[in-house]
Amino acid sequence: MEKLKVASLFCGCGGMDLGVIGGFSYLGKEYGENSFEIVYSIDNDEYCTKIYNQNFQHKCEIKDVREIDVKSMPNFDILIGGFPCQSFSISAQNPPRLGYKDERGMLFFEMVKILKEKKPRFFIAENVKGIMSANKGKAFPVIIEEFRNAGYIVTHKLLLASDYGVPQKRERVIIVGFRDAEDFAKFRFPTRVPIRERKVLGDVIQEENNHNESLFFSERAVAGMMAVREKMNKGRAMRLDEPCNTISAHLAKVSLNSTDPVFMVGERFRRFSTREAARIQSFPDSFVLNSVAEVRQYKAIGNAVPPVMMWHVVKSLQNVMSIHQLNMKEMLSLFPDSIVRNNSLDNTSKGTGTSCKLDIDDTKNVLVSLVKADNMEQYLDQSAKIYYTGKKFPSTVHLNKLYYFMPYVKGKGIKDLYFIKVARVGTRKEGKPDNDPNDLRLVFEIEFIKSLFDEYKKINLPIWDTFNDTTLAGLMNALLCPTV
C-alpha cells in the first residue's frame, strides 16, 4: 500500500507523530510501521522542535500556526494535531477555564481553516478531558460543529491511555473526522488491549535513579508537605503495581504540595527522571531527549501525546483504508497450495463427527464473515467444513494470524465458533463439475468448536475489520461494550 501523507500541527516533540508512523519498540513489544509518512510538521516551541528534529526524518518548522500559508502547504491525506489545551483543562486556574474564548483555545480554528482549504481525507485531533466540560459544556459542541462545517463527519471518544499498554492513567479526547461516509461507517475506535499486556509504573522505573540524589526532595520539602498533607490531600506517591497518575509539563518543578505524581524509595520522596517520564508516556528508549536542557525535556514530554495510544488509534484508521480487491491470480501463483495451517486441533476429535476439543484462547484472532441465504443451512446445523470468501475483501488479510471463524448468518448474527484448520487460496466450487478455476477466493477449512451464545447476537463491528487484527477477546468486548 502506498503511504498516505500526513500534516502535523502543534507537533511538540513528536508523540503523536511517532504513533502515526509507528516502527518502534516499547517495553519489549514491537509497534509496527504504519502506512503513513509525515510531509509537514510545525510547532512554535523551539525546544520541542529541536527534540523532534533529532528523532524524525522529516524536519519540523518553528512557526506559529497562524502564520502558515495554507496554499503553499504540500498536499496531504490526513491532518493531525493536539491543539493547545491549557484553556480547556479542568485544572487551569489562570485564566479560569475560558475554553474556546481564550486565545490559545481559538487556535483550533486554524486547524479548521486548513481542513476547509486542503480537504484531506481524514483528521485526528487530541485534547484533554476538560475540553468536554469547558465553559459549562458549551465549548465542545462548538468545536465539533466547526469541524462538521469544514465538511467532515465527526466522531470522538475519551480514551484512557492505560487501556492501551501505556503505564499512565492519562485520559484524552480523540476526535476523528472523515470526508467520506463509507470511511466513517467502517471506523471503530481501538478496543482495549488484554489486561496481561497493560503496563504499570514498576515496568518503567529505572533502579539506578533510586540512587540519584538530585532527584530526591529535601527534608525541608517533605516536612512542609507532611504538615498540611491531610488538609491539602497532596503528596501523590505512586504505587509500582499500578499505572502512574497523569504526568504534566510541571515535572521539572514538581512539588510535594501539588497533585503531580512522585515516587517513594523507602521513606524518601523523589521525582521521576526525564527518561522515566518519557517511558511513562510510552516513548521508546531510543527516542533522543538530550538535545535540550532537562527542564525543557520535562515540559516537552509532559505535553506530548502517548505514542503507543496514538499507534492504536491510527491502526484502527489504517484498517479503514486497507479495503479493496486483491489480485487473486497473483496470490495463487505465489501460494499454489496451503498458505497457513493451524495445528492445535485435538487429535482425539478427528474423524469422530464430534466437535473438536480445543481449549479456547481469546487472544487468538477471529474472522467474522457473512453467510448468505443460499449457503446458510450448513451453518445453522453446525455441519460446515469449509468457508469461501466473496470476491472482494481487504488487501491486508493477515492469514497467518487467523485462528477462529465465526459465521455471521444473514439476518441473525453470530453464535458459533469454528477452528480454522487451513487458510489458503482456492476456488468456490472445488472438485465439482461447475467449478470455475477463475473464480478465485480465500478458502478456510474449518471445524465446529462450540456455540458461544444461546441465541444469535448482532455485532457492532464491521465484518471487514476482522480480517486483520480482531482477537476473540476484542470481539467479545465489542459485544459487551459497543461503541456509541
Looking at the annotation, which residues are catalytic? 85
Q: Look at residues 365, 391, 364, 388 and name the one whose alpha carbon lies nearest to residue 375.
A: 388
Q: Using CA atoms, how far apart are residues 38 and 18, in angstroms rounded to an integer?
A: 10
Distance CA 298, CA 275 (A): 9
Kindly state the cell numbers that stand for 216. 530526591
CB-CB contact of 421 with 342 (8 Å)? yes
Phi then psi for 33, rounded to 5 degrees? -65, 135
Q: Crossing angle for the helix pair 108-118 and 139-149, nearest 10 degrees?
A: 20
| H or E element in which residue 41 lies | strand 36-43
Longest dimension (CA), the chain: 89
Spatial CB neighbours of 281, under 8 Å, sequence gap ≥ 6: 15, 166, 168, 247, 301, 302, 304, 306, 307
Query: What is the Cα–Cα distance from 371 to 413, expressed in whole angstroms?
Result: 10
Q: In whole angstroms, give the CA distance from residue 241 to residue 201.
A: 6
Strand partners, 24: 31
